[in-house]
């Protein structure tokens, strides 16, 4: 896995934690939250303001990244949608990608109360 891909995964992990910290009330209310740009650049400090339900829709689709609009060309992939506040990018599968992680490799804190 290349460095950009690893950084994208790291930033997704951080976004998952942000989403978790926001709390169930804010998630139910669909509040806007500042997530990190997932362009995969190590020095990217951009945030992307999304409603919690928008972020949930992004993470429900494997390979979708949320990026700051100015960074939509920083990552390799196909831009699916972009607006003033965010860009959605479908990352191109890496042919030399690592095999999928077993479920046990992911933390239990990815499970949210319904």
- Which residues of the chain form contacts with Zn ion (CB under 5 A)? 37, 39, 44, 46, 71
Q: Is the distance from CB of 85 to CB of 49 less than 8 angstroms?
A: yes
b/e for 73-85, b at 16 or more Cβ within 10 A? Answer: ebbebeeeeeeee
Q: Which one, 27 or 71, has the nearer CB to Zn ion?
A: 71
By C-beta, is 83 or 113 nearer to Zn ion?
A: 83
Residues 29, 50, 17, 98, CA torsion sign:
positive
Give me the least distance between CB of 29 and Zn ion, in Å please.
27
State the nearest-atom distance from the C-beta of 102 to Zn ion, in Å.
30
Q: Which is nearer to Zn ion, 13 or 46 (CB)?
A: 46
Do the Cβ atoms of 66 and 75 come closer than 8 Å? no
Q: Name the residue nearer to Zn ion (CB basis): 8 or 54.
A: 8
Which secondary structure element, helix H or strand E, spans residue 74, and what is its range? none
- Smallest distance from the beta carbon of 94 to Zn ion, in angstroms? 19
Residue 107 Cβ vs Zn ion, minimum distance, rounded to whole Å: 24
């Amino acid at each position: 896995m290349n460095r950009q891909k690893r950084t994208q995964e790291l930033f997704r992990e951080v976004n998952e934690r942000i989403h978790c910290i926001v709390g169930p009330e804010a998630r139910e209310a669909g509040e806007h939250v500042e997530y990190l740009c997932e362009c995969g650049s190590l020095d990217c400090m951009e945030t992307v303001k999304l409603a919690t339900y928008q972020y949930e829709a992004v993470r429900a689709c494997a390979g979708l990244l949320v990026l700051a609009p100015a960074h939509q060309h920083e990552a390799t992939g196909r831009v699916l949608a972009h607006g003033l506040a965010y860009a959605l990018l479908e990352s191109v599968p890496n042919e030399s990608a690592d095999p999928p992680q077993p479920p046990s490799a992911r933390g239990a804190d990815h499970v949210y109360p319904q």
